[in-house]
């Protein structure tokens, strides 16, 4: 009964869509691959954009499947805002193909890659899978450096203006406003984090590299033996021995990673395990990009207090 | 307050070890950098606005014109070499070690017309599986090409798929042409190395010869709805089972399918589908033994129709499938064959009848399977599958008319409802390598159970594969 009704309403929707085309609201349909770019797109587009965020802060953007819901959303998107640099290589190409939406194919203005707007760190010298799941273009987790966010924001606003020329001034004005606020906040963060310089931390995955280098902190090792491979007891024991020789202040992990390996090591190395939101939505306070950095720095500062 | 902070920062920087000094410059440079960026952005904005106004004044240019990424701040330099245009290449290597209580060479699915496909268990002892070479790339802005070659352990090359696919059709349409795995059912489009078990479910083996491949064209349409809805149709030569090569003009097979899917919440995602395949066969032959145990050639002429209902439900806590996830999958098949069956024992030295008989043949049969795969911790999965086939109604006119061969002359079509229980455990070192242990109790043959133990490896080299739903 219920399913019949659903089918009937679906069919009605389909017919309506066939005849009336896109809904009348002249807003950009934005498909953001990750929450950070979703938040940025909302900042820049305001009420001129419908933003759909494909992944949550509790998901690993690398390990997503091309689910039917993603294909359906990509079908009517005007703009994909993704990280690129192979972060979404396991699912985005499939979503692009199966959505049958020419506007968001590679090379089209509707396909925006944040990683193309910044200089990537850790470009592998040896491109070989024996090194784990390495990305040829470099480390794709670029958004935890506010300078990168600013560069991406400027480029993204231009892309929105290009796609929606009538509202170009709107996107540019919002970008200017955002960059103004962002630059003020960056100065605040810079001051707040001064005490973190030189602090050694153990990371889980190489997803905090840009944050660590922006703050002048140092990585004392990673829980994953190689990028993308889950932590093993052998590797953790080795890391524990290394921490005995060269101590670190804390273990930091992103919200989406498994807490258990970090807990194991934290207990034995007697250092705190700090969970960082990693992206928008990764903690209660990380409601937007500003909240993300505020909360991240608050949590990190607690290590050195 | 500000002064205190700055003083504190400077103090910290001084107290910090040497490398921090370099970063100190960077720190104070940050403000400048963001400022500069903002300033340059404003300037660029003005110049762009000016250019835009000029451009708009010149002509009403459609916005579809491909625009260079004007906004890219520091796009990485493209590789300038011929190899930069090479397609993405990946190679899948597979192998098995099998132990079976019955001879795999005698494998039959009792009660069902043999498909002629490779549907039996792997050969005993060590065996190399098919190696799959996968090439794909964009052809131009309008098409994408995919070719998948299977290198069989018998040193043959098979073209599994070789198709082009449109990239630029408007309104959610995609056209595919060439040889491709048909969109019917759920598992049909998934390549063998991505299956949760080493072999195909029984209904696929019995009704589609393992899987259905089209040589033809396919048109798909994705609806512009928030819930995934996809409709598709195919026409093709219909040369694969249950059809056969007919040497006739026009399409020998057509298929229709509808898929719907979505997320129930963050943790659950589903897809369901309904498919219909209609194909015709001419002289589709299979070998059987007569009542005396001598070989006979039978052949079928007529129409075959298959209905498939499929459903998949996946669960992962908060949609994060790395630690734990469950996948439930099931499909129900109904298959009909209507036409004539020809019995021919004239090739024998001492034939029972020494003649050919042709009369009506009708079979209405069904089958289903349900399986679950549970990743209970990173890298490890266990799975269970149950498959069952229903013999249904099979009317052999030659037997019914009583003029010659009897039911005993069609032993392969003797009544039997095959079932199978399969369990598996697999371990993945990384996304690119997997080892699997599979145990099965297979009652495809009448009256005997084939107990199978299969060890399998699947390794993938080269380009990163897709995470299909």
What's the whole-number average pLDDT of chain A?
A: 89
Secondary structure (DSSP) of B122-184: PPSEEEE--EEEEEEEE-SSSEEEEEEEEE-TTS-EEEEEEEEEES--STTEEEEEEEEE-SS
B99 inside 8 A of chain A by CB: no
Secondary structure (DSSP) of B369-411: EEEEEEEEETTEEEEEEEEEEEEEEEEEHHHHT-SS--GGG-G
Cβ-based contacts of A67 with chain B (< 8 Å): 261, 263, 269, 469
Q: Say which residue the tokens 């091309």 belong to.
A: A66
Cβ-based contacts of A77 with chain B (< 8 Å): none
Cβ-based contacts of B321 with chain A (< 8 Å): 63, 65
Shortest Cα–Cα distance, A269 to chain B (Å): 24
> Do A201 and A285 fall within a single domain?
yes
**Whole-structure pTM value:** 0.84
pLDDT of A8 higher than 80: no
- Tell me the CATH number at A265: 3.40.50.1980
pLDDT of residue B117: 83
Find residue B166's DSSP bridge partners: B143
A67·B263 Cβ contact <8 A: yes
Task: Select the residue of A94, A187, A258 nearest B466 (Cβ to Cβ).
Answer: A94
Shortest Cα–Cα distance, B2 to chain A (Å): 9
> Do A178 and A248 fall within a single domain?
no
B222 inside 8 A of chain A by CB: yes
> Do A260 and A159 fall within a single domain?
no
Closest B-chain CA to A13: B225
* Residue A210, in any domain of the structure: yes
Find residue B334's DSSP bridge partners: B307, B366
> Do A148 and A42 fall within a single domain?
yes
**B interface test, pick of A11, A50, A66, A100 with most B CB neighbours within 10 Å:** A100
pLDDT of A128 higher than 60: yes
ipTM of the complex, rounded to two decimals: 0.84
Task: Select the residue of A55, A120, A179 nearest B41 (Cβ to Cβ).
Answer: A179
pLDDT of residue A11: 57
pLDDT of residue A108: 93
Exposure of B405 in the CB half-sphere (CA atoms within 13 A): 31
Closest C-alpha to B352, from B393, B408, B305, B312: B408
pLDDT of A238 higher than 60: yes
Q: Which CATH architecture has domain B91-462?
A: Beta Barrel (2.40)
pLDDT of residue B159: 95
Closest B-chain CA to A158: B71
B464·A89 Cβ contact <8 A: yes
> Do A202 and A104 fall within a single domain?
no
B34·A182 Cβ contact <8 A: yes
* Residue A15, in any domain of the structure: no
CB pairs under 8 A between A and B: 241
B322·A183 Cβ contact <8 A: no
* Residue A94, in any domain of the structure: yes
pLDDT tens sequence across A205-216 = 889 999 999 999
| Distance of alpha carbon A246 from alpha carbon A248, whole angstroms | 7
B226·A72 Cβ contact <8 A: yes
* Residue A258, in any domain of the structure: yes
A68·B259 Cβ contact <8 A: yes
Cβ-based contacts of A228 with chain B (< 8 Å): 430-431
Q: What is the pLDDT along chain B (469 residues), one digit of tens a residue?
A: 444 444 444 444 444 444 444 444 554 555 666 666 666 666 666 665 565 555 555 544 333 333 333 333 444 444 556 677 888 999 999 999 999 999 999 999 999 999 988 899 999 999 999 999 999 999 988 999 999 999 998 899 999 999 999 999 999 999 999 999 999 999 999 999 999 999 999 999 999 999 999 999 999 999 999 999 999 999 999 999 999 998 889 899 999 999 999 999 999 999 999 999 999 999 999 999 998 889 999 999 999 999 999 999 999 999 988 889 999 999 999 999 999 999 998 888 888 888 899 999 999 999 999 999 999 998 999 999 999 999 999 999 999 988 889 999 999 999 999 999 999 999 999 889 999 999 999 999 999 999 999 999 999 998 888 888 9
pLDDT tens sequence across A130-152 = 877 778 889 999 999 999 999 99
* Residue A202, in any domain of the structure: yes
**Both tokens assigned to B349:** 């030295």
A179·B144 Cβ contact <8 A: no
pLDDT of residue B258: 98
Q: Which of A188, A215, A249 is the last residue of a domain?
A: A188
| Distance of alpha carbon A99 from alpha carbon A113, whole angstroms | 18
Find residue B454's DSSP bridge partners: B98, B438
A186·B34 Cβ contact <8 A: yes
Task: Select the residue of B23, B26, B38 nearest A180 (Cβ to Cβ).
Answer: B38
A108 inside 8 A of chain B by CB: yes
Domain count, chain A: 2
> Do A128 and A241 fall within a single domain?
no
> Do A108 and A148 fall within a single domain?
yes
pLDDT of A71 higher than 50: yes
Q: What residue segments make up the domains of chain B, in order of their start?
A: 91-462
pLDDT tens sequence across A255-280 = 998 899 999 999 999 999 999 999 99
B349 inside 8 A of chain A by CB: no
> Do A264 and A181 fall within a single domain?
no
Other Cβ atoms within 10 Å of B69 Cβ, number: 18
A56·B314 Cβ contact <8 A: no
Closest C-alpha to B88, from B17, B137, B31, B43: B137
> Do A93 and A236 fall within a single domain?
no
* Residue A134, in any domain of the structure: yes
Closest B-chain CA to A92: B466
B263·A229 Cβ contact <8 A: no
> Do A73 and A213 fall within a single domain?
no
More reliable by pLDDT, A11 or A53: A53
| Distance of alpha carbon A87 from alpha carbon B290, whole angstroms | 61
pLDDT of A111 higher than 70: yes
**Which of B:223-282 have CB within 8 Å of A?**
223-230, 259-263, 266, 269-271
A11 inside 8 A of chain B by CB: no
Q: Which of A188, A203, A236 is the last residue of a domain?
A: A188
pLDDT tens sequence across A216-230 = 999 999 999 988 888
Q: Which of A170, A188, A206 is the last residue of a domain?
A: A188
* Cβ(B346)–Cβ(B355) below 8 Å: yes
Task: Select the residue of B227, B430, B466 nearest A72 (Cβ to Cβ).
Answer: B227
| Distance of alpha carbon B416 from alpha carbon B394, whole angstroms | 11
> Do A168 and A113 fall within a single domain?
yes
Shortest Cα–Cα distance, B228 to chain A (Å): 5
The predicted model gives A149-178 an average pLDDT of 96
Closest A-chain CA to B225: A72
Domain hosting residue A126, numbered range? 27-188
Q: Say which residue the tokens 């199966």 belong to.
A: A98
Shortest Cα–Cα distance, A270 to chain B (Å): 23
The band of A305, judged by pLDDT with boundaries at 50, 70 and 90, is confident
pLDDT of residue B21: 42
> Do A251 and A110 fall within a single domain?
no
Shortest Cα–Cα distance, B108 to chain A (Å): 36
């Amino acid at each position: 009964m219920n399913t019949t009704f659903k089918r009937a309403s679906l069919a009605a929707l389909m017919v309506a869509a066939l005849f009336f085309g896109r809904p009348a609201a002249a807003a950009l349909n934005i498909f953001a691959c990750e929450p950070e770019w979703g938040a940025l797109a909302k900042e820049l587009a305001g009420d001129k954009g419908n933003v759909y965020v494909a992944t949550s802060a509790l998901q690993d953007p690398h390990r997503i499947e091309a689910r039917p819901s993603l294909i359906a959303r990509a079908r009517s998107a005007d703009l994909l805002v993704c990280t690129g640099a192979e972060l979404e290589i396991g699912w985005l190409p499939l979503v692009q193909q199966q959505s049958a939406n020419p506007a968001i194919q590679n090379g089209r203005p509707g396909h925006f890659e944040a990683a193309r707007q910044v200089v990537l760190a850790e470009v592998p010298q040896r491109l070989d899978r024996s090194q784990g799941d390495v990305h040829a273009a470099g480390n794709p987790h670029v958004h935890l450096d506010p300078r990168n966010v600013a560069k991406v924001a400027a480029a993204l606003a231009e892309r929105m203006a290009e796609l929606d020329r009538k509202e170009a001034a709107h996107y540019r004005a919002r970008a200017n406003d955002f960059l103004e606020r962002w630059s003020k906040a960056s100065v605040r963060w810079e001051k707040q984090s001064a005490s973190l310089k030189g602090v050694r931390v153990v990371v889980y995955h190489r997803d905090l590299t840009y944050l660590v280098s922006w703050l002048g902190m140092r990585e004392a090792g990673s829980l994953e033996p190689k990028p993308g491979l889950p932590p093993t007891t052998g590797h953790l024991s080795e890391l524990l021995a290394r921490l005995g020789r060269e101590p670190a202040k804390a273990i930091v992990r992103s919200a989406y990673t498994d807490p258990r390996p970090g807990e194991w090591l934290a207990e034995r190395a007697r250092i705190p395990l700090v969970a960082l939101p990693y992206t928008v939505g990764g903690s209660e306070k990380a409601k937007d990009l500003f909240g993300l950095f505020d909360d991240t720095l608050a949590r990190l500062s607690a290590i050195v207090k | 307050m500000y002064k205190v902070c700055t003083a504190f920062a400077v103090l910290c920087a001084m107290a910090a070890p040497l490398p921090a000094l370099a970063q100190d410059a960077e720190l104070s440079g940050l403000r400048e950098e963001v400022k500069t960026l903002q300033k340059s952005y404003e300037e660029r904005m003005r110049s762009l606005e000016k250019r835009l106004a000029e451009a708009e004044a010149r002509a009403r240019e459609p916005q579809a014109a491909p625009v260079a990424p004007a906004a890219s701040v520091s796009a990485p330099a493209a590789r300038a070499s011929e190899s930069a245009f090479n397609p993405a290449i990946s190679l899948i290597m597979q192998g098995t070690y099998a132990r079976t209580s019955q001879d795999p060479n005698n494998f039959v699915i009792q009660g069902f017309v043999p498909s002629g496909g490779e549907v039996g268990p792997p050969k005993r002892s060590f065996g190399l599986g098919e190696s799959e070479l996968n090439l794909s790339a964009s052809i131009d802005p309008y098409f994408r090409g995919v070719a998948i070659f299977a290198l069989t352990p018998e040193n043959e090359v098979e073209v599994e798929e070789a198709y082009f696919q449109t990239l630029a059709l408007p309104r959610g349409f995609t056209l595919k042409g060439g040889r491709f795995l048909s969109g019917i059912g759920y598992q049909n489009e998934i390549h063998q190395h991505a299956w949760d078990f080493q072999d195909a479910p029984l209904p696929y083996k019995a009704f589609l010869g393992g899987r259905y491949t089209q040589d033809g064209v396919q048109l798909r349409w994705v609806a512009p709805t928030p819930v995934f809805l996809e409709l598709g149709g195919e026409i093709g030569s219909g040369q694969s089972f249950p059809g056969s090569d007919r040497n006739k003009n026009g399409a020998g097979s057509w298929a229709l399918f509808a898929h719907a899917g979505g997320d129930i919440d963050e943790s659950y995602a589903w897809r369901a589908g309904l498919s219909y395949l209609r194909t015709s066969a001419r002289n589709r032959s299979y070998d059987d033994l007569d009542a005396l145990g001598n070989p006979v050639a039978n052949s079928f002429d007529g129409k075959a129709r298959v209905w498939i209902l499929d459903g998949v439900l996946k669960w992962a806590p908060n949609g994060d499938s790395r630690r734990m996830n469950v996948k439930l999958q099931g499909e129900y098949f109904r298959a009909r064959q209507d036409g004539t069956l020809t019995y021919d024992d004239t090739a024998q030295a001492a034939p029972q009848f020494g003649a050919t008989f042709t009369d009506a043949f009708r079979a209405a049969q069904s089958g289903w399977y349900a399986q679950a795969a549970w990743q209970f911790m990173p890298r490890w999965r266990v799975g269970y599958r149950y498959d069952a086939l229903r013999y249904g109604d099979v009317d052999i006119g030659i037997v019914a008319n009583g003029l010659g061969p009897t039911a005993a002359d069609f032993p392969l079509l003797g009544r039997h409802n095959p079932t199978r229980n399969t369990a598996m455990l697999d371990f993945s070192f990384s996304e690119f390598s997997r080892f699997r242990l599979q145990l099965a109790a297979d009652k495809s043959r009448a009256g005997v159970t084939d107990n199978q133990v299969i060890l399998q490896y699947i390794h993938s080299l080269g380009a990163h594969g897709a995470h299909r739903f």
